[in-house]
């Protein structure tokens, strides 16, 4: 049987009219059908993606290797651990991942009281729920952030935290006296993105800071928001946070299309750095 043009019909099912959408997203759509089921290839791809997501959650972060790579960028690093002693506890007790272990808390408190880490922006690189994201994307992201730092901004040592949740950065920032803390953390893996990195920014961090007091930049990876664009957005938010004296819901991200020249935006000569609102001994 042929169509009116004389061309015989192709064998198999007709092409899916939604198939062209797959060129624009990694989301699972236009999977096709094999009878009443999905095709074998799609079933196998789903199983692979699920396994990759599970592996990303349980993969340990090689903090020593990351510290060496960051040292190659000229960054001073500190390594800390949360109060969760292992991965199993970390997954079952999110509260322990939000606080430092006692030894590291005392060490950072001593550094903060000595003024050895006083800074405008502190970067905390945390494994979170995807150490894979940190292994792949933390180094290029830190490089972009450091290389585009605005004139006059002091960046503290890069703190590498294991078994860490987002809120751990608030305690780290408070102990070290940072005016802003940016937590670069592995996000919960998805079936199309097991290696997505997130950035959480807090103004004058303190223990007990709520989610509403943070700004988030998500899906930092080559297939999402590239590191250079994420760094530009972060510095835009930092500048606005300093101007407004806050982060979170009141700070609206209007950085779309913003790019930073080498060296970042310049601080006006007549604009002094904002002082920390608390005396050093009361910051923790």
Tokens found for residue 60: 């340990």
Q: Give CA–CA dist 126/186, Å, rounded.
A: 7
Taking the mean position of all CA atoms in its chain, how far away is CA 224? 12
Among 16-20, 72-76, 122-126, where is mean pLDDT lowest? Answer: 16-20
C-alpha distance from residue 257 to each of 229, 253, 254 (Å): 9, 11, 9
Among 5-14, 41-50, 222-231, where is mean pLDDT lowest? Answer: 5-14
Report whether 119 contacts 174 (CB < 8 A).
no
For the residues 180-200, what does the mean pLDDT come to?
A: 94
Interior angle at CA 150, CA 278 and CA 233, nearest 5 = 90
The CATH number assigned to the domain with range 57-264 reads 3.40.50.11240
pLDDT for residue 237? 97
Whether the predicted pLDDT of 219 surpasses 60: yes
- How confident is the prediction for the chain on average, in pLDDT? 86
Q: Give CA–CA dist 283/279, Å, rounded.
A: 7
pLDDT for residue 17? 74
Whether the predicted pLDDT of 68 surpasses 90: yes
271 band by pLDDT with thresholds 50, 70 and 90:
very low
Domain layout of the chain by residue ranges: 57-264
pLDDT for residue 2? 53
């Amino acid at each position: 049987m042929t169509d009116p043009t004389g061309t015989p019909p192709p064998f198999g099912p007709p092409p899916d009219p939604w198939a062209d959408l797959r060129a624009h997203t990694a989301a699972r759509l236009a999977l096709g059908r094999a009878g009443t089921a999905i095709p074998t290839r799609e079933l196998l791809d789903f199983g692979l993606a699920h396994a990759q997501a599970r592996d990303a959650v349980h993969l340990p972060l090689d903090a020593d290797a990351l510290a060496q790579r960051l040292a190659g960028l000229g960054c001073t690093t500190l390594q800390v651990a949360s109060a969760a002693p292992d991965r199993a506890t970390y997954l079952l007790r999110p509260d322990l991942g939000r606080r430092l272990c006692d030894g590291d808390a005392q060490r950072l408190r001593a550094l903060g009281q000595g003024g050895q880490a006083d800074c405008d922006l502190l970067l905390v690189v945390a494994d979170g729920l995807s150490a894979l994201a940190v292994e792949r994307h933390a180094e290029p992201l830190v490089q972009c952030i450091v290389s585009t730092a605005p004139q006059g901004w002091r960046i503290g040592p890069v703190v590498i935290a294991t078994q860490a949740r987002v809120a751990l950065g608030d305690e780290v920032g408070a102990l070290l006296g940072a005016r802003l803390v940016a937590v670069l953390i592995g996000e919960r893996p998805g079936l199309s993105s097991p290696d997505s990195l997130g950035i959480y920014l807090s103004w004058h961090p303190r223990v007990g800071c709520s989610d509403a007091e943070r700004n988030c930049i998500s899906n930092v990876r080559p297939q999402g928001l590239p590191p250079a664009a994420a760094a530009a957005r972060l510095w835009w938010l930092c500048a606005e946070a300093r101007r407004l004296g806050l982060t979170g819901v009141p700070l609206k991200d209007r950085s779309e299309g913003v790019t930073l020249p080498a060296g970042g935006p310049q601080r006006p000569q007549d604009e002094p750095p904002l002082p920390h609102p608390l005396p050093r001994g009361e910051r923790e």
